[in-house]
Amino acid sequence: MGISYTGQSTTFGCKLWTKFWTMPRQISLIMQSQRRYGTILGGLPHQPRVQLPRSGRCSGENLRWEVVGLLLVHTGAELSDMPGWHSIFSRLPRGLHTRAQVMQKMLQLGNACTAFSKECGPRNELVACLMYVCMLMTERAVGDSSSEAWHNMGLVCDTVITMGLHQQKKVDTDTPFFLRELRKWLFILAYNHDKFLAEFLGRPSRISYRHCSIQELLPLGDQEICGSERTPAGVSANEPGHPTRSTWRKAFYSLTKIGEDLLELTLGEKAD
């Protein structure tokens, strides 16, 4: 569920960016794009009897703006980790020959994809993922203390609350297992990062654990979560073994709850 980068994604992202760079900017094409994606975008329904893979509902002819934005932002993040003298920067289009320029342009495109997604349909898990990675890229580009990072964190918190991810909901049998885990991950990530920025900047946090029903993450890796439609048999939240990323997320969440209490004591009104 974290962000992983590969050389393949960089190559694909560069090709995708080249198409964006050479695309005419006539308003008619933008309106045509909005009409087209407005017809194929919507929720993420789960239909067990349909053999079409879920990846096919977000790619190919059904390519979504969220997927395009995630590819671009991930590509920008990977390129930002490369040394400035790397030869790949000399092969990029004009005006993208430094890491800072690449980050800014990929972030700009990611935000544009987010705006298109919001206009074409209701909020969904992919939009929340895109907004979260755009927020992380903003922090890389302009710093954790910037007003842009604080504003984008607020948008992420508003989105997960609007989607109801802060409440424990009863899910039906048609809801795929990976989607249930993704929703829990999204809320935990938003909650933890909200506390990080609030403590770092000395500001009130936006999400309080007192108003939320936190669902515990299962100690599973990405392959286990995405490779099964049902909850794997014998899975226990306290099962001993090698720690996974969800294990550390749960530990970090316990610390952030304490941090939230300390933050309230620090920022609250002092008694005379």
Q: What tens digit of pLDDT does each residue of 152-162 get?
A: 999 999 999 99
Q: Which amino acid is at 34?
A: Q
Read off the pLDDT of each residue in 3-7 and give the average, rounded to a whole number.
45
Rounded CA-CA distance 93/8 in Å is 19
**Cβ atoms of 189 and 156 closer than 8 Å:** no
| pTM: predicted TM-score of the whole model, two decimal places | 0.72
Categorize the per-residue pLDDT at 46 as very low, low, confident or very high, splitting at 50, 70 and 90: very low
Planar angle of CA 42, 43, 44, nearest 5 degrees: 125
Confidence tier at 57 by pLDDT (50, 70, 90):
low
Q: If you compute the radius of gyration of the chain from its CA atoms, what whole number of angstroms results?
A: 20
Angle (deg, nearest 10), helices 65-80 and 99-120: 160
In DSSP notation, 178-189 reads HHHHHHHHHHHH
d(CA 49, CA 75): 35
Residues 6+ apart with CB under 8 A from 69: 109, 110, 112, 113, 114, 117, 130, 134
Residue 3 has pLDDT above 80, yes or no: no
Kindly report the number of other CB atoms within 10 A of residue 167's CB atom.
12
